[in-house]
Amino acid sequence: MAQELGEDANWLSDVAAGMEPEDGLIWVYGRDDDGTMAFSDDGIESLRNLIEIRRGLGR
């Protein structure tokens, strides 16, 4: 997702950390119980909105 949005993966992870499942954040787990953040279509839109908010605040 970071590459698609042209953002730093660590920064984007920090931005998405406050998202909830209701916001479209999905956690995908493999056999080793390591989770990977994923987003529904609505989640991607929510993430874009959060990016704009963060940039507006100068963070």
Single pTM value for the model: 0.78
d(CA 20, CA 37): 11
All residues at 6 or more sequence positions from 16 whose CB lies less than 8 Å from its CB, including other chains:
25, 37, 39, 47, 50
Per-residue model confidence as pLDDT tens digits over 5-33: 999 999 999 999 989 999 999 999 988 87
Per-residue model confidence as pLDDT tens digits over 29-46: 988 878 889 999 999 999
